[in-house]
Structure 1
Amino acid sequence: MELFITGGIAILIIILLILFFTFIPVGLWITAFFSGVRVGILTLVGMRLRRVIPSRIVNPMIKATKAGLDINIDELEAHYLAGGNVNTLVDALIAAQRANIPLIFERAAAIDLAGRNVLEAVQVSVNPKVIETPKISAVAKDGIEVIAKARVTVRANIERLVGGAGEETIIARVGEGIVTTVGSSESHSDVLENPDSISRTVLNKGLDSGTAFEILSIDIADVDVGRNIGAKLQMEQADADKKIAQAKAEERRAMAVAKEQEMVADVQAMRAKVVEAESQVPLALAAALKEGKMGVMDYYNMRNILADTDMRTSISKMTDDNKPQ
């Protein structure tokens, strides 16, 4: 019985020791102690209670201490709880110290929490970065399209990383500068002969204002001649004018046809009236003879006049037909 109790106590002690060393990172505390980082056991326990992984705070703290940085472990823990990357932050501070870049902890933490890679920003500040723009099309005053491609060398501006615009803004502004410069050129050949004029003009516009970068240089990597936009526009305009003229001509033709049809209808109506009037003539003659208003001799005289008129008309037609053409 006593042996059973003793064995149970030993197992309980072992379980407690396992839980103790699992909950309290004694190994991490020993590593920190011999690395010169003074962090208490209770501090590590507090991190566990605050759901902070102690190794993600202590290991960067060891690197910072070895690099000679004066950082408080509470600051690192607060940055971790705020959602920051403690390891990257410490690496950036060490890199800035080695490069003699004035970067304090608060500014680095603000840059990291703003969503930017603070370590990459420090590296770009030391080693400038080259941003290559896509092919940008612009049209000179002579109507010839010029396609240019630029390489922009930039350096990160630590002071403007928080709230400053990114690479997309630099590319957009450089593209706008290229379009403006080419568009103000009298001829596309001027651009081809002096591509550095684009660089000078664009660089003098202060395109890095309000961005997280400082533009060091703008180099035109490639310049090509594209389409003759002016000639194409003139052809399209001529085609449009032609279609408008055709439409107006068709409109005039339709109006003429309608007018002709209207005149034909009027003539037919007049002929109908004449036929109707002629049909009334025999009735009128009969009525005049019956009422004594017209004599038989008057009637024959009228017939003679009509026959004479028909004869004269026939003779005139025969004369016109016999004339030499």
Structure 2
Amino acid sequence: MTARPADPWAGTARLTTLADWLAFAEKAYAREPVALGQVATNAHDEALYLLLRALELPLDSDAGVLQRKLTAVERTKAETWLRRRLLDRVPAAYLTREAWLGEHRFYVDERVIIPRSYFLEIIPEQLEALLPAGKKVRHVVDVCTGSGCLAILLAHQFPGAKVDACDLSAAALEVAAINVRDHALTGRVRLFQSDVFDAVPPAKYDVILSNPPYEPSALVDTQAPEFAAEPRMAHDGGRDGLTIIRKLLRQARARLQPHGLVVIEVGGLHAAIEAEFAALHPEWLPTQDGSDCVVLFRAKNLGAT
């Protein structure tokens, strides 16, 4: 008879310091078929983040915190969160109820996709420079806003601008409202429940920004459990991933200032965008990792009115 493998979780009672728990967690991450990318791209960073949050310790704690001994209550919470993350495949951000884009913290839960976007670098580093010299950003909109994170980044970047944000999901907008309030932006950021611009009051924007659902439906069907835990409508872009993007570009014509821009994060749709929208002269913005998956369209090429 083959001996049953020892339970790798049986020895957690012997783990006394945070360093012990971190080493254990990294081995557990290597052992379990988890998917990364929602909070961190490597097991060490995600495990450390999750343990610090479980113990209610600052994320910027120095290395000395690793020698901190855990209480019995803390050990129980650390193990509970690691089991939920690694065995139940619950995304780390849904355990901690937060996500970070740069220095900005956002509340998240299962009603929204976990914030992660190349717009974290595009908004501060490139966006304003893409407009004609001397044109101030006065009115912008975030389409498919989810948690409201990109609308809030826009509001922080352009303190003199009005910011609209829309999403089809009423549940997502409940989370967005929490974040708008937490960032003290209720006077500047307006939220609309709308399928793209269908229910957004008429306005002319300097910038239309969107990180829409762009994954082809067949790909969404095969997502890892961590990504499947997020709202499907935040991922599913239809048969070829372009359903929402087509509607956005069609409706943008009547929503842009003559100098306006549409900027869209499109994931792996580079070839599809080039094939379908070549006549609109798409421009690809550089990103630090070289993926260059953010596309820009100018009002003059959309036939904006």
Same fold (TM over 0.5): no
Structure with larger RCO (C-alpha < 8 A, sep 6+): 2
Larger Rg: 1 or 2? 1
Q: What's the TM-score, normalizing by structure 2?
A: 0.26
Name the structure where helix makes up a greater proportion of residues: 1
